[in-house]
Amino acid sequence: MKLGIVILAAGQGTRMKSRLPKVLHTLAGRPLLAHVMDTAASLQPDRMVVVYGHGGEQVREALDAPELQWVEQASRLGTGHAVQQAIPVLKDVDQVLILYGDVPLMRPGSLQSLVEKAASGFGLMTIDLDDPTGYGRILRNEQGQVQGIVEEKDATPEQLQIREVNTGIMLVEARSLERWLEQITPQNAQGEYYLTDIVALAVAEGVEIAVAQPAEAVEAEGVNDRLQLASLERVYQRWQADALMRGGVTLRDPNRFDLRGHLHTGLDVSLDVNVVVEGDVVLGDNVSVGANTVLRNVRVADNTVIRENCVIEDAIIGPDSAIGPFSRIRPGTELVGGAHVGNFVEIKNSRIGLGSKVNHLTYIGDTDMGAGVNIGAGTITCNYDGAFKHRTRIEDKAFIGSNTALVAPVSVGEDATIGAGSVIVKDAPPGELTLARGKQVTIRGWKRPKKET
């Protein structure tokens, strides 16, 4: 059986009060539609179609992929009309699964259950809610068989008491879907073509409607405003936190953790509160991450301690290193191992050798640093001349005194010492003390300016 998947993503999302199309608002750092596309792809469909409308070109630019086909719904005339736009590109499939671009938490296992139960050719995903307000109600006969769906605005008072509701997700035999869509009419309170009307048409033809329900009702919740988006964000983050803890990671407070990408961990990893993980992050054995730290596309080797309030991105951190608090490690940086990077230190596009220390109030940019180097507080590598970047080289066991400026391109030799307060513009030889200070002068009788009273 060939499976086609249609993702409806044409809604304007007026309640989001945004210029951004609703399906491009993010959950865990990725567009809502991207989550749905990933879930759909996990079923290995033969055809995947996205029906777009409001802001469609923006959506396509953000999420286009070779396996996708895009169909425009130029006029928003309801869900039935939206699916009808996709029919021409579904001629070669046997079954059609209909999903929604603003329902990001549906799990692959729940959809697989629907596929397996829909042997009759028609499967419907429903949920039971204590408060079904806003949802279409599932109508059943005395034998419990599904007879149809009534939208809330068209429901009678008795029907409004029904707690089993429609999620909108359904699996339908392709040829029957095309035929039924041609029969529905906009004779309802909204004046739209309801996709749900095909259920009654199927029943009239004697088709049995199979029903599946997701493992958790929240899987079927959609996003209509920013409150709902925030609510689903916390659900999704808690799912990820639970999976990490089951895998052996210590989270000091799983409700204050955000994973916006992929995290791979070794043994005995510990994350304090408000850690944010973005992109692809790998943490080795015995890695500890302090509170309020951001890790973005980082590889951290075993036995490394990252203290509070650090930002580390696109970097490689070697084993037995200590970083922070208040350190910023920028893209292109590698700490070979055993490094100490302390408070208010920024490192960019540099290689820090084994056991080197950069502990206080320092900027290291475009630098090749050897092993056992000590960088004093307030040191700056002056790597930019206003037009071009230049590199600094600091060889093994060099000692750079506090408040030094190294004006690149420049080299400091092995075991060299740079006196505090120096501005180094020429290469410093190995094993020697190099100083570059102005003569100290005292101006007698000078008066500090004062404001007139």
The active-site residue, picked from 25, 54, 81, 360, is 360
C-alpha 428/C-alpha 280 separation (Å) is: 40
- The reply to whether 101 sits in an annotated binding site is yes
- The reply to whether 286 sits in an annotated binding site is no
> Is 360 a catalytic site residue?
yes
- The reply to whether 194 sits in an annotated binding site is no
C-alpha 333/C-alpha 277 separation (Å) is: 18
- The reply to whether 279 sits in an annotated binding site is no
- Compute φ and ψ for 31, nearest 5 degrees: -60, 145
- The reply to whether 333 sits in an annotated binding site is no
- Prior bond to 132 cis, omega within 30? no
- The reply to whether 314 sits in an annotated binding site is no
- The reply to whether 52 sits in an annotated binding site is no
Whether 213 and 126 have beta carbons less than 8 Å apart is answered as yes
- The reply to whether 274 sits in an annotated binding site is no
- The reply to whether 348 sits in an annotated binding site is yes
61: Cβ contacts below 8 Å, ≥ 6 apart: none
C-alpha 81/C-alpha 415 separation (Å) is: 76
C-alpha distances in Å from residue 331, one per residue of 32, 203, 314, 348, 387: 28, 60, 4, 6, 20
- The reply to whether 166 sits in an annotated binding site is yes
- The reply to whether 63 sits in an annotated binding site is no
- The reply to whether 353 sits in an annotated binding site is no
The distance from CA 336 to its chain's CA centroid, rounded to whole angstroms, is: 28
3-state class (DSSP) for residue 447: coil
C-alpha 333/C-alpha 347 separation (Å) is: 7
User: Tokens 């021409």 correspond to what residue?
Assistant: 88
- The reply to whether 188 sits in an annotated binding site is no
Closest CA to 310 of 300, 377, 436, 24: 300
- The reply to whether 437 sits in an annotated binding site is yes
- The reply to whether 4 sits in an annotated binding site is no
| C-alpha dihedral sign at 149, 153, 158, 160 | positive
Per-residue DSSP letters for 50-111?
EEE-TTHHHHHHHH--TTEEEEE--S---HHHHHHHHGGG-TT-SEEEEEETT-TT--HHHH
- The reply to whether 297 sits in an annotated binding site is no
- The conformational region for residue 200 under phi > 0 = left, psi -120 to 50 = alpha, else beta, is alpha
- The reply to whether 193 sits in an annotated binding site is no
Sequence ranges of the binding site for UDP-N-acetyl-alpha-D-glucosamine: 8-11, 22, 73, 78-79, 100-102, 136, 151, 166, 224, 330, 348, 363, 374
Sequence ranges of the binding site: 8-11, 22, 73, 78-79, 100-102, 136, 151, 166, 224, 330, 348, 363, 374, 377, 383-384, 402, 420, 437
Please give the positions annotated as active site: 360
Sequence ranges of the binding site for acetyl-CoA: 377, 383-384, 402, 420, 437
Sequence ranges of the binding site for Mg(2+): 102, 224
